[in-house]
Homo-oligomer: A and B are copies of this chain.
Amino acid sequence: MSFEAAIHAQAIEVGKLSLEMTAAAGSGHPTTSLSIAHLVTVLMFDTMRWSPDYPDYPTSDRLVLSEGHAVPAVYAAAAKLGVMIGKDPDNRRKLTTDDLNSLRELNSELDGHPNPMEGFPFFDAATGSLGQGLSVAAGLGEAARLDGFDKRIYCIIGDGESREGQVAEALDYIAERKLTNVLPIFNCNDFGQAGRVSDQQSAERIAKKLEAFGFEVLVVDGHGPDAIKAAFTVFAERQGQADAVPMAIVANTIKGWGCPSIQGGGWHGKVPSGEALTRALGELDERRVELTSALNANDVFEIQPPADAPARTEQTAELPSLSDTMRKMDMETVLHAGRLATRKAYGIALRALGRINDDVVVLDADVSNSTFAETFAKQSDLADRFFECKIAEQNMVSVAAGMSAGGKVPFCSTFSKFFARAYDQIEMAINSGANLKLVGSHSGITLAADGPSQMSLPDVAWFHSWTTMKDHRGNPGCYLLQPADAFAAYALTGVMAEYEGVCYMRTLRAETEFLYSDDQVFNLGGFEVLNEGRDVVLCAAGYMVHEANKAIELLDAAGVSATLVDLYSLPFDTDKLLDIISENNGYVISLEDNYGGGIGSAIADALVESGDGFTLEQMHVRHIPKSARTPDELLASCKLSAQDIVDQAMSVLQVV
């Protein structure tokens, strides 16, 4: 068959459909779509081993469209191939070219940017916030390698997009991990949104950089079917070569390929309509006449199916108790000492989890000896499921999202503070329906000596926001967990592994006393009453539970009977908490080692909805903290010491 003619014919169809569907939607990026029309056509019609009937089949080759705004090209190709779509896996239908006109409609599976959760399972992750796709592809590559799947992951990245530092992080990661099953394809169409792409992102410069990062680079004509296929073949043939280094493709393309009337600057994200649309479609028809003369009737593509996927083995074993696990680790003395940092309990839990759940993988950002992810990493039988991501948090989170799409249960750890570098990546993972566990250590001010550049302070407020809405499964966008002792941290790590969705757990640097035992049950959405009083409720989490405990004793001595609630989860059972507050005359004080907007505000949200006359005093960090030698000094300087809590309680109760 004439491969060139056949690809051109399909690519031109893809381009025309992209123009038509964006015109119908009244918005979108047809010119970017035209720049990747040939790359997408060769991949989906010829190169990828996959099945339009099972677009998310586990062993299928994958396409990650990092420059998500170019998605009309993929929708168009998918329609031509009758790819199955639909939110409900058991109730999917074939996408038709007619469906394309529903692009960006409220009830359409064809969202403005790629998102598997809206009913287009061909994709593994939501993209559109730029620079994240290559990291997701790396995660898919790692998962495939762990599963022993001969699976190839193709990722299309825009030239302007590659200015995002996360792309450099992903390239370093792929090169270091020798992920030869991942192929970065840079779409160099030379135009960004506001202007031309910088010379720093020119095709030549990108190729130079890729070589410096350790990649073998092929520069191709992104609209030349044979050239594209040849490059993909080189990539495929390198699979399994022991000494192979990762490879990348730099594709020279034209934004608005085939349509001179909409090329060049000023056409990014612009949709031709009326005469301009007719002209552009006409220009593509002319290109067809030119380029497809060699086409003959029996030039049809046969898509290679993926290999059969092995049946998934259910992970059913029970997590042993913390005490049993510590005994196995010869930590009897610590167990008897009765003090252990929650970050260390997290590490112990990871190690136990790794042994009962083959899907659990652990990622860290060069601080595994601080987060104690090293407790997992240092086990020879688990080491191959530990991924050292180095100091690159954005890449770590998106790689984990990719691993999740590959069926893994990723735990990511770094300092809580540094997860803030990946909030956008976390949001895109939530939008993708990822099954992600984020565990930040050194939370809040009790880190003390290192100062505010290492302290997580507005983090609780941001995650609080994710507890006020629902994800695609109807669960909170994220559960925020703040264990106060080792038993809680251990148990909640197990709970996170059982749950499908995103969780964020804050652990502490400081050693803290045991408050619970092996028998204590912890639930997402739960809380625990540690002391039953009648005058005022203290709601605390994490380190502040211990400070509250000290305050309870002082208050008791002063004749005040305080209730202590360990609010270890956001969201929590608000009705149950309101009852407890009512039983304490409506007086409540919240205690946080972070800035406001966190659990105090969450309690306030619940109280004012009730309309009863409750009184809440929020105690939290109210100025930028600095270094101090000890947690106690810092707590006192932030007016969060046990004595400050007592004084606040006395003033709330108007006890003079």
A364: interface (CB < 8 Å)? yes
Q: What string of 1s and 0s marks CB contacts (under 8 Å) between A491-506 and chain B?
A: 0000000000000000
CB contacts (< 8 Å) of A338 on chain B: these are none
Q: Is A517 an interface residue, CB under 8 A from the partner?
A: no
Contact A623 B469 (CB under 8 A): yes
Contact A608/B615 with A27-B449, A213-B200, A624-B471 known, Cβ cut-off 8 Å? yes
Q: List residues 433-482 of chain A with CB under 8 A from any CB of chain B.
A: 449-454, 457-458, 460-462, 464-466, 468-472, 477
CA distance A626 to B595 in the complex (A): 31
* A369 at the binding interface (Cβ < 8 Å): yes
Given A105-B628, A165-B167, answer yes or no on A597-B608 (Cβ-Cβ < 8 Å): no
| In the complex, chain B residues whose CB is within 8 Å of the CB of A621 | 469
Q: A597-B461, A607-B604, A623-B470 are in contact. Are A424 and B421 (CB under 8 A)?
A: yes
- A26: CB under 8 A from chain B? yes
9-residue interface stretch from A2-10, A189-197, A219-227, A228-236: A189-197
Considering only residues 608-624 of chain A, those with a C-beta below 8 Å from chain B are 608-609, 611-618, 620-624
Give the residues from 19 to 49 in chain A that come closer than 8 angstroms, CB to CB, to chain B: 25-28
* B622 and A25 contact, CB distance less than 8 A: no
A180 to chain B, nearest CB (A): 16
Q: Which residue of B lies closest to A592 (CB)?
A: B468
Query: Is A357 interfacial (CB-CB < 8 Å)?
Result: no
Distance in angstroms from A212 CB to nearest chain B CB is 4
Q: Which of B127, B366, B451, B616 contacts A193 (CB 8 A)?
A: B366
A388 at the interface (CB under 8 A from B): yes
Tell me whether A209 is interfacial, beta carbon within 8 Å. yes
Q: Is A126 interfacial (CB-CB < 8 Å)? A: yes
Q: How far is the CB of A81 from chain B (nearest CB, A)?
A: 23
CA A378 to CA B207, docked complex, whole Å: 32
A179 within 8 A of B: no
Q: Contacts A366-B193, A605-B600: A209 and B213 contacting too (C-beta < 8 A)? A: yes
Most chain B CB neighbours (cut-off 10 Å) among A129, A451, A470, A600: A451
- Residues of the B chain whose Cβ atoms lie less than 8 Å from the Cβ of A472: 624
* Bound: A44/B494 CA distance, A: 52
Residues in B neighbouring A615, C-beta threshold 8 A: 608-609, 611
Tell me if A390 and B198 are in contact (CB < 8 A): yes
Find A597's partner among B364, B597, B624 (CB 8 Å cutoff). Answer: B597
- A165-B164, A172-B163, A608-B615 are known contacts. Are A465 and B595 too (CB-CB below 8 A)? yes
Query: A163-B169, A390-B192 are known contacts. Are A622 and B468 too (CB-CB below 8 A)?
Result: yes
Stretch at the interface among A108-116, A293-301, A306-314, A339-347: A108-116
- Whole-angstrom distance between the alpha carbons of A627 and B114 in the complex? 11
Chain B residues positioned under 8 Å from A603 (CB to CB):
608
Residues of B within 8 A of A451 (CB): 104, 111-113, 115, 128
Closest-by-CB residue of B relative to A415 is B129
State which of B130, B453, B594, B604 has its C-beta within 8 Å of the C-beta of A68. Answer: B453
**Which B residues are in CB contact (< 8 Å) with A605?**
596, 600-601, 604, 618
Q: List 18 A-B contacts (CB under 8 A).
A: A27-B449, A104-B449, A104-B627, A108-B627, A113-B453, A115-B626, A127-B453, A165-B169, A165-B394, A167-B168, A194-B367, A208-B212, A460-B465, A462-B597, A465-B594, A465-B598, A468-B596, A608-B616
Residues of A within 8 A of B (CB): 25-28, 68, 104-106, 108, 111-113, 115, 117-118, 126-131, 160-161, 163-169, 172, 175-176, 192-195, 198-201, 205, 208-209, 211-214, 364, 366-370, 374, 388, 390-392, 394-395, 417-418, 420-421, 423-424, 427-428, 430-431, 449-454, 457-458, 460-462, 464-466, 468-472, 477, 586, 594-598, 600-605, 607-609, 611-618, 620-624, 626-629, 633-634, 637
